[in-house]
Amino acid sequence: MITREQFSARLKAKSLPSLPLTVVALGQAVQDERCTVDRILAILSKDPPLSATLLRLANSAMYAGEGSILDLRKAILRLGFDAVAILGTGAAVVRTFRDGAHLDALRLWQHSVAVGLTAKGICTLARRRGQAESAFLAGLLHDIGKIALDTCFPDAYAEVVQRVAAGAHYLDAERAVLGLDHPEAGALLAASWSFPQPIVDVIRDHHQPKDGEFLPSLVHLSDLLVRTRVPMGPADQHLMVALGDSPAFHSVMAGALEKDLDIERLTFSIDDEVDHALAFVEVAFQG
């Protein structure tokens, strides 16, 4: 069985890449009220592959307006500063960790981006716009522990993937084979990247959020809702979510907000976010 100490030592030995500095710089820039297009351009000029990915996204079906654009400045204006930061983070993460020893990385990132976008959208419905960027980042990274375990212990994780293909849930398979699951591994990796503690906590707790904790409950709920549309294995094929019976739903939509929630609108918006995620990851994988 793998201990936390063994995993941390293997992380160092494997030298898993850290997130590009471009991502940090973009996040800091868009939070500045004085941010300009020129400042965003200056940051992106240091990362040509990411710039090319954002240009493709601006011309994709998700964002395309009338006619295509070939100029990055126009792409930034079309997408908007917040979207540039969020999409840039997503594209950089996907590009950096798009290879897995045994995992289907394309499917994993389509799921993760869909969870991030869904969490961001629900955050808006819950009138918590100020936490939308954190919601997206937490959703995007919630399963990063799978990549870390697959990279650090490829032979053992091959058995995990086999068990999942045979009908087991990832958590059950990881605990049986490794003794360490992907939420714990992901939290250790995020901490090693010096991510804020709330993001580390979400990654660690996204399968078992504590009552009343907003972000862990939000990502847990978003994960379940996306898995009903993009199954992560045979065990998800018949997954159904009864929102009214979900403690995470009540933690996210606390109090009077639940009475005002348009469930049909929420359902359609999740379908849209899944479609966006599928298209987004295909574009990001080209970068």
**Tens of pLDDT along 222-252?**
999 999 988 899 999 888 888 778 888 888 8
**Tens of pLDDT along 60-84?**
777 766 678 888 999 898 888 888 8
**Beta carbons of 12 and 5 less than 8 angstroms apart:** no
Q: What pLDDT shows up at residue 122?
A: 87
**Tens of pLDDT along 158-198?**
999 999 999 999 999 999 999 999 999 999 998 888 788 99
Q: What pLDDT shows up at residue 66?
A: 63
Q: What pLDDT shows up at residue 260?
A: 62
- The average pLDDT across 259-281 equals 76
Helical axes 197-205 vs 182-192, angle rounded to 10°: 170
Task: With a cut of 70, say whether residue 256 has pLDDT above it.
Answer: no
Locate tokens 């997206």: which residue?
Answer: 136
- Reply yes or no on domain 99-287 having CATH 1.10.1040.10: no
Q: Which residues of 126-145 are buried (b: 16+ CB within 10 A; e: fewer)?
A: bebeebbbbbbbbbbbbbbb
Q: Which residues of 186-216 are buried (b: 16+ CB within 10 A; e: fewer)?
A: bbbbbeeeebeebbbbbbbbbbebeeebbbb
Whole-number percent of the chain with pLDDT over 90:
34
**Beta carbons of 203 and 144 less than 8 angstroms apart:** yes
Q: What pLDDT shows up at residue 177?
A: 96
- The average pLDDT across 139-156 equals 92
pLDDT bracket for residue 258 (50, 70, 90): low
pLDDT bracket for residue 22 (50, 70, 90): confident
Average pLDDT over the chain, rounded to whole? 86
The pTM (predicted TM-score) of the whole model is 0.84
Domain boundaries, the chain: 18-96, 99-287
Q: What pLDDT shows up at residue 60?
A: 78
Task: With a cut of 60, say whether residue 257 has pLDDT above it.
Answer: no
Q: What pLDDT shows up at residue 285?
A: 79
